[in-house]
Structures are given as structure tokens and as C-alpha cells.
Amino acid sequence: MATTPAPAQNRSSVRTLLRLWPYVRPVRARLFTAAFVAILASCVGLVIPLVLKWLVDGPVADRDPAGVGLGALYLLLLGFAEALLFGLRRWLVARPLSHVEASMRAALYRRLQRLPVAFHDRWASGQLLSRGTTDLMLLRMFLAFPLTFLLVNGVTIVVGVVIMLLQDWTLGLVILGPAVPVMVTCVIFEKRYAEVARLAQDQVGDLTTVVEESVLGIRVIKGFGRHRNQARAFSDLSGTLRGTELRKARLLATIWGVIVTLPEVAIGAALVVGVVQVADGGLSAGTLVAFLSTALALRWPVESIGFLLAMSQEAATATERYFEVMDEDVEEAGAAAAAEGSRSAGRNGWARTAARSIVATEPGERGLRFDDVRFRYPDAPPGSPPVLDGVDLHIRPGESMALVGATGSGKTTLTALIPRLYELTSGRITLDGVDITALSAQDLRAKVAVAFEEPTLFSAPVGDNVLMGAQDTAGPADLERALSVAQAGFVYALPQGTDTQVGEQGLSLSGGQRQRLALARAVVGQPEFLVLDDPLSALDVRTEAAVEAALRHVLADTTALIVAHRPSTVLLADRVALLSGGRIAAVGTHHELLRTSAEYAHLMSADRSGKEEGAR
């Protein structure tokens, strides 16, 4: 399973949450208004005890029914105003926060599209999914409730304590007694809960990965009868997550017990002291009622501290996980350097075009060239040999070259370097004399089309899957031509023809059908450079021959590199390059290499004997 970076230690929750500000800034006016309305609502609630004091010491003590009715009306109006203000706050935050969540999710998706393949090799897909779903939901909940109410409840507690001290400072000091132990408990809780919250959210990502892999690999699981093993793996991860959630619950129960019990004890002590003072005549009954009502009104702001801190810590962890992805470097480093070079040469946008046109005067530089290319995977163990070590190869303009080598020799890796799915360790690759790192990813991939051995189709119509390779420039005629080249006429027999929806991963089609659609996708845009990674491996002999015949016309007008394992595919190419030990060991025509290279002859004879053995 792919791993994710270890969580940062000793992080500041406040500093982490402040990273959300660029997303919150566009809706800050409504959020600040909502916070002000919530503070106003809480302050309205604190006026109620003062009305009670007036009511008890005035109309009730004087036995004035009219005054009691007026006091009841005041209390009703204050309660109605408080409810109305809290409802207004909710309305104010609903729309902007859904916008914040949507914009963050869109930003995450855009970043995932721009991150290099090496990043996706390293990260488990479930971890990325959980960041785009569960984590963003936690952030929306934090912005909607804890962010506002940490401020609102803080203001409410301060205003309430001031009111109580003004009514009777001795009772106020009794109420303030638990403040220090409560604050110490909160500090300890915050640190411990942050660690457990991060662990739980990472485990959710791991669980998501298992579910996703089980769904995508359901044919393998059923085919080998491994459903019990997968269920056991899921159960183990689920049990681990349950244990972590129980640890969170125990921590929350501990702080809740402290911040509920201590204030309740303080209120009980204040009640006893207050009753004694009323009995001695040192305190009015109305003041005691108002004091206790204020203290009771502060119960919710104080008791909510525990889960508000818990939600804040979960939001801080979600923010940290979100920006772990957003902080990764995207593919455009080379393009940025090229753009900087263009700006230094002139600001009219002609520099890059001029750089490309210069190569027209250098015939030897045209085509596709590998110059001392070395590559080691980013996560390879230190000291391990590179996959490619000093590859030198030149494919002339309009030439097609077959790339042959033993399994594991690095053929697929070499083809992945051309569209910069991975970045070179050293050396360079040029297209018509232009270093591929001097092109933006978009410009490069407009020039280079790729068909992989394992084709991937998306949940979209057949036509959309094929036209995905045309950079939005192809039409129905191009689609028809590409399907003809790939011998993919079977699509017209589908229920809705080219509008037929392809299921997830294209598994409703056969392997050969998926491979032909992938080939059609590669040729539909008539690219300048074509990279084919064993594109015909899943085809039967007759279909392969038909595709090869049509493909020859395409290869006549493009520069192509074709990974090949079978002689029939090799014969599509003008020349053949033998990759061995991470280097190009020989280059020549098929017949030349059969005569001069024992390794090449062995590879081709092994393929023929394998086919003959299979025919028997």
C-alpha cells in the first residue's frame, strides 16, 4: 500500500487553521456579520437575568400583577429576539461555507491533475479521496460552528463574568474558582486529542483505500475466492479505526467530565453562599436570582469548550492533511524556467516560438532524441542502480522505431519520460531540438500522444473517451478515422454507438476492445510524436494484422516510438532499438539485429517459440 508523509510534530493549530484564510477571504463579510449576530444573540440572552432581577425585586416583591405581566412580555421578546438572531446567523453562513468547501475541493482536484505521476505512485488513492471528502466536510463544519462559537462563547463568558462580578464580587470569585483547572485540562486535552485525531483521519484514508481496491478488483477477488481475506483485512482496519475513535471518545469524556463537574460544584457553592447572604440581608433575592441565572446561562458556553476544541483539532488536522497535497510541487517547474527565459528575451511571446524554429536549420537535431538519459524512481532505495543509465537514441523525423528488451529492462519507463510523466534524473530529451523541460506540460502533450499497454477508460461515452486525445480540436470525421485505424468498428454495434456509456474502467468491454479504443485515442489528434507501449498485445492475430495495416499509414506521417514484444509489431517500425541493462545496446533494422545481436535474436526466437507452443 502506498504511504503518505508522516504528520508534522508540534504544529500550531492556530497557524495551521490560518492557512484557510485565502479560501475564506471572499466570504469574510458574511462570516464576520454572522459572528457579530451570534455575539449579539448571546448578549441578548445575558440581559434576561437582569430582567429577572428587576422582576423579582420589583413587581414580585411589590405584588404588582401588571409589572409581572410586563416583565413576562420583556422575557418573551428577548427570547424571541435571541432565537431570531441565531436563525439569521445560520442563514448567513450556509451559502458562503458551501462555496468555500466547493472551491477547496475544486482546487484540490486541479492540483491532483497537475501533480506528477511519481506523486500518485507514492500516495494511496484512498488517502486522496478522504482528503477531498471527509476532511473538507470537517473543515466546513468547523467554519460553520466551532470557529464562530469559540469567539461567541469566549465573549459570552467574559461578559457574563463581568455581570456576575458587578452584581456581587464574592459570589463571582466563587464561580471563578474552577477557571484554572479547567484551562489546564483544556491545554492537556488539546495536545493529546490532536495526535489521536490525526491518527483516526489517516486510518479513514487507509480504510477507503481497501474499499476502493476491493471494488475495482472485485473480479480478481471473486475469481480466486479471496473475499474472506479481503473481509478480514477490512475488519482489521475497521477494528483499528474503532479503537482510535474510542480513544477520542475517552479523551472527550474526560474533558467533558471536568468542565461540567467543576462549574456545577462552583454554582452549588455560590448558591449556598448566596442564600446565606440573602438570609443575613446582605443580598437581595433578585440579585441572587439574576446571579444564578447568569451562571446557568454560562453553562452551555463553558461545557461546549470540550467538543469545540475537539472539532477545532480535527479541523486543524484536516487542514494539515489538505495542504500536504496542495504543497506538493506540480509538473510545471521546467515550463516556469522556460517562461522566465522567454521573459528575459522579450515580452511579446516570440521567444519560445523562435527557439523551436531555430531547429529547422539543424537537420541532425530534428525528431526525437535521448541524450545521456538517466532515471531512478524517486522512492528507489539509496544506492540502487538507475533504471535507465546513459540512454542515447535518435529517432529521425517521420521515422518509427521499435523498442525491444527483456521484461524489466525499462522500456515502459523510457516511454513515460517523453510526455514527462516522470522527470529525468539527468540528461535530456528533445523534440525537434527543443528540450521537453522547456515546454509546458500542455504544449508537450499536445505534441506527444501515448497509448499504454494497460488501457484506462473513463465513465463517459465511447466517443468522449477517444476524443480525449485530441486536445478539443477533433470532430466526428477525426473520430471516425481514428476508430478505423484502430479497427474499432465494434463501437457502432453498441446500443447507442459512439454515445454508449462506458462503465467504470471500461470493464464492460473486452481487453482487446479497450486496447483498440486506447489506440484510437492516441491517433485521433494526429500528433507529431506517437508513443505506443505494446499497443496490440491483447489483440487476436487477425485483428492485429488489420490494425497493423491501418497503422502503417499513420506511422508514415509521424515520428513514433513503439514498445514491441512480437516480430509482427517490430515489423511496423523502420528501425529497432535494443534496450539492455538500462542502455541502448544496438540499433538497426529487424533483419540486421537478427544477424548481429544474439540477445535480440534470442528475444525474437523466444517470442516465436512461445507463440508456436501456445498454438499447440
Domains in the chain and their CATH numbers?
13-326 (1.20.1560.10), 333-607 (3.40.50.300)
Going through 247-357 in order, the beta strands assigned E by DSSP cover none
Q: What is 532-564 written as a DSSP string?
A: EESTTTTS-HHHHHHHHHHHHHHHTTSEEEEE-
Residue-level pLDDT at 346: 35
Residues in the chain with pLDDT values less than 50:
1-3, 6-9, 333-364, 609-616
Residue-level pLDDT at 372: 92
Going through 415-485 in order, the beta strands assigned E by DSSP cover 426-431, 434-435, 448-451
Q: List, for residues 53-106, the tens digit of each pLDDT value.
A: 788 877 777 777 877 788 788 888 888 888 898 888 888 887 788 888 889 999
Q: Are the beta carbons of 461 and 517 closer than 8 angstroms?
A: no
Q: What is the distance between the alpha carbons of residues 15 and 323, in angstroms, rounded to a whole number?
A: 13
Q: What is the distance between the alpha carbons of residues 389 and 426, in angstroms, rounded to a whole number?
A: 9
Residue-level pLDDT at 578: 93
Residue-level pLDDT at 471: 63
Q: What is 183-237 written as a DSSP string?
A: HHHHHHHHHHHHHHHHHHHHHHHHHHHHHHHHHHTHHHHHHTT-HHHHHHHHHHH
Residue-level pLDDT at 484: 86
Q: What is the distance between the alpha carbons of residues 615 and 92, in angstroms, rounded to a whole number?
A: 72
Residue-level pLDDT at 392: 92
Q: What is the distance between the alpha carbons of residues 599 and 438, in angstroms, rounded to a whole number?
A: 37
Residue-level pLDDT at 48: 84
Going through 376-463 in order, the beta strands assigned E by DSSP cover 388-395, 400-404, 426-431, 434-435, 448-451
Residue-level pLDDT at 551: 78
Compute CA 111 distance to the chain's CA centroid, rounded to the nearest angstrom.
8
Q: Are the beta carbons of 23 and 100 closer than 8 angstroms?
A: yes
Contacts of 485 (CB under 8 A, 6+ apart): 519, 520, 523, 547, 550, 551, 553, 554
Three cell numbers written together for 296: 446557568
Which class for 574: exposed (0-12), middle (13-18), buried (19 or more C-beta within 10 A)?
A: middle
Residue-level pLDDT at 174: 86
Residue with cell 412580555: 73
Residue-level pLDDT at 361: 36
